[in-house]
Amino acid sequence: MSEGITYKQDLPPQGGYAPIRYKRNLPVRGPSGVFLLFATVGVSVFGFWRLGQGNIERRYVPCTLMNSELARERAWSRIYLTPLLLAETDRDMFRRDRASALRENLLMKDVPNWEVGKSVYNSKRYTPNNYVVIVLHAERQDKVQESDQSYHGVGEDQADESVASPPPHDAPSADTRTNEPLLDSDAPTTEQADKDATSSPPEKVAPSDERLSAVYDREETLEEPAFHTSFLQASVQDILVTDSISSMAVSLHHVALGLQSGMIYVLSRTGHLEKGFRFHSAPVLDIVFDSTGEFVGSAGMDGLVAIASLTSSEQYEFDFHRPMRSIALEPQFGSRSSRAFVCGGMSGVLVYREKRWFGHKETVLHNGEGPIWTVAWHGRWIAWANDRGVRIMEATMHEMIALISAPPQTPRPELVRCTLHWRDSHTLLIAQKDRVTVASIRTRSKSTEEEVRAAIPTVPTFSGLVSSFALPAREQRDFVQVTDIFQLDCVVTGIAWSMDAMITLAYLMDEEELAALDSKTLQVHACHPPEIRSINSQGEELESYALDVPDYSKWHCNDYHLRASLEPKWDPVLEEDVPSPVFFVATPKRLLVLRPRDERDHIQWLLEHHEYREALEALEALGSGPAAALGFDMAAVGRSYLAHLIEDLHDYTMAAQLFPLLLRSDTASWEHFIFLMLAHDQVKTLLPHVPIKDPELDEVVYDMILVHLLRTDEQVLLTTLRTWPGHLYSTQAVAKAIEDQARNSRVFLECLAQLYRANQKPGQALLYLLRLRDPSVFDFIRDNDLLIDVQHRIGTLVELDQDVAGTQEPKDSALVPLLVKHMHSVPIQRAMHQFEPYPWYQYLYLDALFEKDPSLVVPYANQLVRLYSDFSYTKLMPFLRSMSSVYSFKEAYRVCEERGHVPEMVFLRGRTGDLPGALNLILDRLNDVEMAIEFVQQQDDADLWNILLAHSYNKPDYVRGLLEHAGGEMDPVRLIRPIEHGLVIPGLRPALIKTLTNFHLQHSLLSCGMTQFHVMDAPCAPIALFLCMHAAHLSCLQPPAAGPQGRAISRAEPITASTTRLYAQDREQKMGEEVPEDLVGPESDMVVQAPVAAQALTRLALPHQKALAKQGCPVCAKEKAYGLPD
């Protein structure tokens, strides 16, 4: 480069370049990747779903194309074959008519003026208008709804004139039916039918029907109805004047009626017309509400099926060109867009229709088994009845799960229809003829084989993936099980379920007709009004209620319709609305509403029929609060019951018994009913129930009762006065009334005594008690301390005491204890003075005083000796011994001598010092050796022993007695030596042995060593007895330091039980301080007790038994030491 060339750099101008302005053209953006991803996934899912739907359709439903082609072929087949079938049907009908005419001609050939093939029908029952024959090949008798038909000339004497003389053939007659079916134009009008029914003669009742007479007898018996029955009036009455009901449906707020004319009326529950539809030109055979109550569907004999909304203008009409018998709307029809329903009829095809985008789609669910008579749809399940039976299908998948065959000999459904009712989502009630079948839908798990197959792994494929994605495996399968079959004695024409019971509409027939009811039956006759029966799940009939249906004999079985629903009802106990069942029963001319009677209705019915007792029991079961909430006053009902018993039934006993229970503390009611009972002269019946406290009535009431008793029954008056407290009535007024009639009446005197008792006047009452010689007078005197008032009337009290005891000498006197206790009121001298005519009472009185305090009878001691000797000899000797210082010995001895009391004479002689005389009395008059020895031992006198020995020499009994009892007191030699030779003494040997043994014992005791013990100082000391018959003092065998320190005990003389207290004290001083406490008895006796002494001596010797056992007998030991022979 040339160095001279220079370059100039271009710089932006001051402030920068101006902005360049141009239009931006942004590129067009396509779908993003996220969008493409979601779109791909969505399309794939939708494709799989559609593929799965195709699999489902191929698996469970025939191909759509095949299904449509098959339906088209069937339709054309029916079109082509229908004329041929109708012709064949007519030919068969004519053949049967010809055969029937021949048989009739053969049978009735002898009957004059008989026309073959001419039938006469009695128009006694209502014939609904617009009747169209349902089945083309039906018999002539089935084409006309007549219940009683008779042919002329059968021989019925009591037949109506219209039957005996039929009209001529050329004259038109409403009762004569041709073989042609009746069309709408030929059908008689309602006015004409009503006129015929009105002009027909009344139906006669056969008196020989025993069942009917039994029903009449049952109706005469008072029985509470099970339901409230009312006829729905308002618009219904106007509608049914010119038309009749052919079907009915009920929702929660409306009642829909399908009429014979084809009209549909929707009414309120009160019977007022709300809507009307004219879809049909023939009778409406079925009508239903959907579960929401917004849509109503109907099926008519004209082949139309119509569905209409009650709240909008939405309506659907479908023409099936054949009579449609039944229709069912899907659950929640009003809230679903599919608007699906099923219907069926005489074509025998069960059609399922649902709404699609481009119209309604029709699917044939089933056909080929005769007409579809009824359809019921609930939840997932659809049930319908045809000639073969009842079928159940799953509504979603259209899968048939069961067929319940119809019972044998089932009558044709045109006469007795089959009724279906879903009790719940899995239980179906089927009513056919006289049978109710309960079918339950159950689910069972897949079998073991299916589980094994499911557990086997499979090779994954695209088709398997699609199938598994589109249709999940079914783990459970549904099946139907018949759980119960109830056989009834009636035709079930309607069925429903309420709470926990099955409600049936019973169509009563004669038993013979019911038994003969089969498929060949032409007519069904009702012999009794229909009944509503309630049956529990065990098949037991809970209630039966006969419907009061006018002209029930006009209607056939299928003319009745039963529907059940719920309605809110205010419960005053719960204070809220509770659902209550309500039943609608439709006849062609009446619409009945039945409501179960609640507790309020039950009680009200009882009150209306004067069943007050049951009403009170029901109110008592409810309680006072709920009863008041129901509007019942238990007290008022009780008063009505009592008034009914008294005024109407005259059951005064029952009324009186119920007074305390029903009147309780209501004083005013008590007084009212008491006066009412007194007005009916029922004071005796009333008396046991009159309250005397809680409540306490007015004084006038009690006075009135007592006055009535005074006039009617004085004995009851006395009992009442004894029972009632005195403050209840006016004592003075009643006493005055009794005194006016008392005179000498014993009962009135007792009443006065009782009145004065109640009035706190015991003194006056005592006077009447004494006049009455009342046994309670002694208690009355003691309780009120009134003895001083009768101190001068002791004799009267004695006679009363004798009357009470029933004897002149009572052992237990009520008077004597009273006098002894109240000596301060009646002194002893005054009582003894008044007892002089009564020596027995003198004895009782003095004896009681002696037991209380002996010093009280000191002035009467000699008199008491005489009284004891006369009335209580056993008490004489104790009295003589204890009171010897206060009575006269001479007087006592004289009394005892006069009465021959020898022991007491001996005692008295001994006390006076005449001991020999006393001993002679014993020996001469008593001849008692033991007593003589005892007496001598007690006196311890040698002269007495000599007298006793002198008296005993020639008396064997005395000798033996002395040897046995006195051997230790005297020398036996003195006793034995003077015995005369040859004197026979019984028992001498044992007596001598006993005497010698005692003597030997004494000799042994006296001959033992006595260096430390003196016999005279201690006559009674512990001794030791050996088996060798030797004896020794215990102190002689042991040193004094080692042996027991026994104290000296004087020999105790035997004392009899009659020993006196003074003698006991004398013996106590004689025995001194040396007697051990163990050997002395109670202080009152001071006698030495031999058993106690023996126990004490044994107790002293016990510590030395071991030593004595080791040493042995000292005498035998000494003899062995000297070597003496045995």
Q: Measure the CA–CA gap between 182 and 894, rounded to whole angstroms.
A: 144
> What pLDDT shows up at residue 447?
56
pLDDT number for residue 480: 92
Question: For position 413, what pLDDT does the model report?
Answer: 84
Average pLDDT for residues 1089-1110, to the nearest whole number? Answer: 46
**pLDDT-based confidence at 1073, cuts 50/70/90?**
very low
Q: How far apart are CA 145 and CA 148, in angstroms?
A: 9
Cα–Cα dist 1109/1026, whole Å: 10
**What does the pLDDT read at residue 1037?**
66
Region 545-549 average pLDDT:
87
Q: Among 596, 621, 652, give the residue marking a domain's end.
A: 596
Contacts of 150 (CB under 8 A, 6+ apart): 120, 122, 156, 159, 163
Domain boundary among 596, 631, 646: 596
Confidence of residue 441 (pLDDT cuts 50, 70, 90): very high
pLDDT greater than 80 at residue 942 = no
374 vs 371: CA distance, rounded Å: 9
Identify residue 956 by its one-letter amino acid code. Answer: P
Q: What is the pLDDT of residue 99?
A: 79
Q: What's the pLDDT band for 521 if we cut at 50, 70, 90? A: low
pLDDT reading at 132 higher than 60: no
Q: The tokens of 65 are what?
A: 């194309």
Answer yes or no: is 737 within a domain.
no
C-alpha dihedral, 958 to 963 to 968 to 973, nearest 10°: 100
pLDDT above 70 for 1077: no
At residue 304, does pLDDT exceed 50?
yes
Q: How far apart are CA 88 and CA 72, in angstroms?
A: 24
Range ranked top by mean pLDDT from 438-447, 653-662, 790-799: 653-662
pLDDT at 1040 exceeding the cut of 60: no
Q: Distance between CA atoms of 24 and 11, rounded to whole angstroms?
A: 28
Could you tell me if residue 69 is inside a domain?
no
- Is pLDDT above 60 for 1076? no
Query: Exposure string (b/e) for 801-830, b if CB count within 10 Å is 16 or more?
Result: bbebbeeeebeebbbbebbbebeebbebee
Question: pLDDT tens digits for 842-863?
Answer: 888 888 888 988 888 888 888 8
What confidence score (pLDDT) does residue 869 get? Answer: 86
User: Which range has the worst mean pLDDT, 209-213, 253-257, 488-492, 910-914?
Assistant: 209-213
Token pair 């089927």 is found at: 430
For position 159, what pLDDT does the model report? Answer: 33
Q: How far apart are CA 646 and CA 824, in angstroms?
A: 61
955 within domain boundaries: no
Strand order in the sheet with 591-596: 227-231, 591-596, 576-586, 561-571
Mean pLDDT of the chain, nearest integer: 75
- Residue whose structure tokens are 């010689």: 773
Q: What's the pLDDT at 645?
A: 93
Q: Which of 19-28, 131-140, 330-339, 607-616 has the lowest mean pLDDT?
A: 131-140
Q: Is the peptide bond before 695 cis (omega within 30 degrees of 0)?
A: yes
In a domain, 576, yes or no: yes
CA dihedral 705→711→714→720, nearest 10 degrees, is 0
Better-scored residue on pLDDT, 42 or 1017: 42
Is 325:373 a contact under the CB 8 Å cutoff?
A: yes
The whole-number pLDDT of residue 429 equals: 95
Sheet of 419-424, strand order = 419-424, 427-432, 435-445, 476-487
pLDDT top residue among 19 and 539: 539
Domain range for 1104: 1008-1121
Look at residue 108 and tell me if it is in a domain.
no
Q: How many domains does the chain have?
A: 2
Long-range contacts of the stretch 302-308 (C-beta < 8 A, 24+)? 302/262, 303/345, 304/279, 304/280, 305/341, 305/343, 306/264, 306/277, 306/279, 306/280, 307/339, 307/341, 308/264, 308/277, 308/279
983, pLDDT greater than 60:
yes
Return the pLDDT at 294: 93
What pLDDT is attached to residue 468?
44
Query: pLDDT category, 512, cuts 50, 70, 90?
Result: confident
Q: Which residue in the block uniquely carries the two structure tokens 């005369």?
A: 980
The answer to which of 69-78, 426-435, 716-725, 1115-1124 has the lowest mean pLDDT is 1115-1124
Confidence at residue 528, expressed as pLDDT on a 0 to 100 scale: 82
Three-state secondary structure string covering 957-1000: HHHHHHHHHCCCCCCHHHHHCCCCCCCCCCCHHHHHHHHHHHHH
Name the least confident of 164-178, 696-710, 945-959: 164-178
Q: What is the pLDDT of residue 184?
A: 35
pLDDT greater at residue 1084 or residue 225: 225
Domain assignment present for residue 270? The answer is yes
Give percent of the chain with pLDDT exceeding 90.
24
Torsion 1072-1075-1081-1083 (CA) sign = positive
| pLDDT one-digit tens code per residue, 670-697 | 999 999 999 999 999 999 999 998 899 9
User: What pLDDT, on the 0 to 100 scale, is given for residue 774?
Assistant: 82
Angle, CA 591 vertex, CA 588 and CA 595 arms, to 5°: 145
Residue 1126 pLDDT > 90, yes or no? no
Residue 414 in any domain: the answer is yes
Q: How far is the C-alpha of 621 from the C-alpha of 615, rounded, in Å?
A: 10
Neighbours of 495 (CB within 10 A): 20
Lowest mean pLDDT among 189-193, 349-353, 475-479: 189-193
Residue 960 has pLDDT above 80, yes or no: no
Note whether residue 1093 is domain-resident: yes
Residue 593's pLDDT band (cuts 50, 70, 90) = very high
Report the pLDDT value the prediction gives residue 119, as an integer from 0 to 100.
54
Task: Write out pLDDT tens, residues 753-792.
Answer: 888 888 888 888 888 888 888 888 888 888 888 888 888 8
Which of 319-328, 573-582, 973-982 shows the highest mean pLDDT? 319-328
Q: What is the predicted pLDDT for the residue at 101?
A: 80
Q: How confident is the model at residue 599 (pLDDT cuts 50, 70, 90)?
A: confident
The one-character DSSP state at 666 is -
457-473 per-position pLDDT tens digit: 544 544 444 444 444 44
Domain end among 557, 573, 596: 596
The CATH number linked to 583 is 2.130.10.10
pTM: 0.50
**Ranges 653-657, 871-875, 939-943, most confident:** 653-657
pLDDT at 255 over 70: yes
Task: Fill in the DSSP letter of residue 712.
Answer: H
Q: Quick one: CA dihedral 598, 601, 606, 612, positive or negative?
A: positive
- Whole-number CA gyration radius for the chain: 63
Query: Of the given ranges (304-318, 590-604, 844-858, 942-956), which has the lowest mean pLDDT?
Result: 942-956
Is the pLDDT higher at 823 or at 997? 823
Q: Which amino acid is at 127?
A: T
- For the residues of 884-908, what is the DSSP string, one character each? TTTS-HHHHHHHHHHHT-HHHHHHH
Instruction: Tell me which of 128 and 953 has the higher pLDDT.
Output: 953
pLDDT at 146: 37
- pLDDT of 1122 strictly over 80: no
